[in-house]
């Protein structure tokens, strides 16, 4: 139940964050203004950040405890394994989750703390006086390696959510012969929609559809 509740909190964040990021397609004023609004929240922003951090830490701690307990319950490996129902995604939740964590740590260093690319410090404020998040994202994703790393990270997030986004119903006690398989399909569609939404940003930048608002 703890894993399910913290997972839902993180899913709500991932959906909200995507909607915020998609404003890059509406132009610099939108996304730069949005980022400024978030920063203007001041102490409330820090409260939200701490809340999310707590959700991530608890989610990881409890899932790793569960994985250890599972292993302890059967120290001897099976001689022969044949999976009837468990999907690839559901069998690799720990590894996909840990790689997503590595992606988030890099992502925070990249776009929030901005220590991985010295050019970001050279960006001037936009005409409305806001930090130019728009150009930062464009310059960031114009690097093929960075974009490729994001797409791999997003793929693993998709794998993780394609199982996690529907399995929380079962963890919270909801199990129905008819509805549970439909929720599993819905969970997979939801995860792939997120993948398309997020990857549209680096892909549009690499294809030259979105150009920086200022030259460096
Ligand atoms: C193409 C994909 C993504 C883009 C373009 C993107 C963009 C950004 C940007 C620009 C910021 C900094 C905002 C600012 O400081 O003004 C940010 C922060 C952040 N992103 Fe992403 N992001 C992406 C994917 C993700 C994913 C998949 C996750 C989580 C699974 C994530 C989690 C975060 C977190 C936790 C922050 C820090 C928020 C804060 O400052 O409190 N991002 N992202």
Distance 78 CA to ligand 1 centre (A): 41
Classify residue 215: in a domain, yes or no: no
**Residue 43, pLDDT above cutoff 80:** yes
Classify residue 212: in a domain, yes or no: no
Q: How far apart are CA 195 and CA 184, in angstroms?
A: 17
83: left (phi over 0), alpha (psi -120 to 50) or beta: beta
14 Cβ inside 6 Å of ligand 1: yes
What confidence tier does 175 reach under pLDDT thresholds 50, 70, 90? confident
Q: Whole-model pTM?
A: 0.92
Classify residue 195: in a domain, yes or no: yes
Classify residue 145: in a domain, yes or no: yes
For residues 169-177, average pLDDT:
85
Chain-wide mean pLDDT for the chain? 94
Higher pLDDT, 7 or 87: 7
* Confidence at residue 137, expressed as pLDDT on a 0 to 100 scale: 98
Q: Output the CA torsion sign for 26, 32, 33, 36.
A: positive
190 Cβ inside 6 Å of ligand 1: no
31 Cβ inside 6 Å of ligand 1: no
Classify residue 7: in a domain, yes or no: yes
Q: Three-state SS for 87?
A: coil
Classify residue 82: in a domain, yes or no: no
Nearest to 205 by CA among 46, 24, 23: 24
Instruction: Report how many domains make up the chain.
Output: 1
For residues 11-27, average pLDDT:
98
Point out the ligand 1 atom lying closest to the alpha carbon of residue 100. Answer: 30
* Confidence at residue 36, expressed as pLDDT on a 0 to 100 scale: 97
157 Cβ inside 6 Å of ligand 1: yes
Nearest to 199 by CA among 60, 70, 103: 103
Classify residue 42: in a domain, yes or no: yes
Q: How far apart are CA 190 and CA 149, in angstroms?
A: 22
**CB within 8 Å of 195: residues ≥ 6 apart:** 154, 155, 157, 158
Classify residue 213: in a domain, yes or no: no
Domain of 192 in residue numbering reads as 2-76+89-206
């Amino acid at each position: 139940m703890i894993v399910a509740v913290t997972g839902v909190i993180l899913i709500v964040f991932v959906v909200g964050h995507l909607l915020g990021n998609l404003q890059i397609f509406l132009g610099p004023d939108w996304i730069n203004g949005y980022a400024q609004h978030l920063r203007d929240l001041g102490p409330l922003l820090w409260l939200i950040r701490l809340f999310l951090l707590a959700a991530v830490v608890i989610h990881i701690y409890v899932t790793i405890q569960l994985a250890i307990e599972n292993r302890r319950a059967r120290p001897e490996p099976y001689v022969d394994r044949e999976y009837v129902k468990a999907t690839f995604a559901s069998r690799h939740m720990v590894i996909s989750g840990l790689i997503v964590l590595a992606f988030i740590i890099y992502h925070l260093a990249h776009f929030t703390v901005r220590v991985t690319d010295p050019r970001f410090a050279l960006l001037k404020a936009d005409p409305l006086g806001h930090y130019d998040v728009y150009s930062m994202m464009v310059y960031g994703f114009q690097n093929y390696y960075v974009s490729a790393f994001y797409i791999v990270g997003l793929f693993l997030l998709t794998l993780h959510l394609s199982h996690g986004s529907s399995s929380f119903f079962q963890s919270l006690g909801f199990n129905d012969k008819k509805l549970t398989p439909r929720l599993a399909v819905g969970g997979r569609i939801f995860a792939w929609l997120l993948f398309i939404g997020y990857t549209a940003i680096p892909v549009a930048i690499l294809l030259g559809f979105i150009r920086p608002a200022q030259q460096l």
